[in-house]
Structure 1
Amino acid sequence: MATLVRNFAPVFPAVLGSFLNDFERVAPAHTHSFPAVNVIESEEAFKIELAAPGLKKEDFKVNVHENILTISTEKKEESTETVGKYTRKEFNFSTFKRSFTLPKTVDSEKIVATYNDGILGLELPKKEEAKPKEPRLIEIA
């Protein structure tokens, strides 16, 4: 299988290893995490549950464009503490973005989002033609 990213570490182990060690001393590694997501399908709809505690519903941006559902958030916090001639300012910035390709069976005009107890819930109803139909008895003439 071809990949877009190649690993050159085996070719240049000494050079790359030295560079990475120096880089980690200057810029420590940061871990990026994304909220856990559950996707549940029923006969009537898909449901997405995204765990994002500590946020408010105003922090989220949810949109659909060209059959791609995107959930993102951007939260900035700033605090300032002044004691005598000493001032300490702290900034915190957190963000994430998750995108999902919607199946053609989803009616994107009727998507509903809620946020309760740290869980962002999205209800993605299926189009009428995608829902299972009851069997119909056809009488023989």
Structure 2
Amino acid sequence: MADKFLDKWEPFRDMLNLRADMDRFFKSFFSGFPEEKEGFWSPVIDIEEDNENYIVKAELPGMKKEDIKVTVRDNVLSISGERKQEKETKDKTFHRIERSYGKFSRTISLPSTVDSNKIKATYKDGVLNITLPKLEEEKPRQIDVEIK
């Protein structure tokens, strides 16, 4: 028992032990959830507005336009698709894999001022641009007032 008091305190060892305990905790916590074979990721988006339109830009690098689906239903814009991973891995050694693969889905509630019949989407250089025109009566107007 006297030896216990003579042990040198090593804070880094204690931190590593704590990390190992936390890793075990989270591994056991999430083990009840089914794992998907392929990942589920979410692309980053920007939403802009000008006088005529709302513009949604989604980063989807490495995708083909055929693998992207854009729909509007009940004033909700949905962007979904799948980025496929290379299946041919013979004679390859991966040192790091950071890119996300698999299915994705993003939904955005649209304001009632969007003219959903005139929505257009383009995909170029890995960026999906969706133009959502505003209804005519909702566009800001300038009224010139004559000063007398």
TM-score class, shorter = 0.5 to 0.7
Tell me the TM-score normalized by structure 2. 0.62
Please give the per-residue CA displacement for 1:24-82, whole angstroms capped at 9, x wherever unaligned. Answer: 6898x997531110000001000000001000111111101111110000245574689
Runs of 4+ in 1 over 2 A off after TM superposition: 17-27, 29-33, 74-82, 136-140
How many residue pairs match? The answer is 114
Superposition RMSD in Å? 3.6
Q: Does 1:127 pair with 2:135?
A: yes
In structure 1, the partner of 2:108 is 100
Q: Could you say what secondary structure the match of 1:35 adopts?
A: coil
Unpaired runs of 5+ in structure 1?
1-16, 83-92
Give the structure with the higher percent strand: 1
Q: Could you say what secondary structure the match of 1:58 adopts?
A: helix
Unpaired runs of 5+ in structure 2?
1-22, 91-100
Identity of aligned residues (%): 39
Structure 2 residue corresponding to 1:118, chosen from 117, 122, 126: 126
Equivalent positions of 1:79-94 (< 5 A) are 79=87, 94=102
Structure exhibiting the larger radius of gyration computed from Cα positions: 2
Question: Quick one: structure 1 residues 56 and 25, their matched pair in 2 at CA, closer, same or farther if it must change by over 3 Å?
Answer: same
Tell me the TM-score normalized by structure 1. 0.65
What is the rounded CA distance, in whole Å, between the counterparts of 2:89 and 2:114 in structure 1?
Answer: 50
Give the structure with the higher percent helix: 2
2:40–2:102 Cα contact (<8 Å) kept:
no
- Please tell me the residue identity of whatever aligns with 2:67: D
What is the rounded CA distance, in whole Å, between the counterparts of 1:106 and 1:25 in structure 2?
Answer: 43
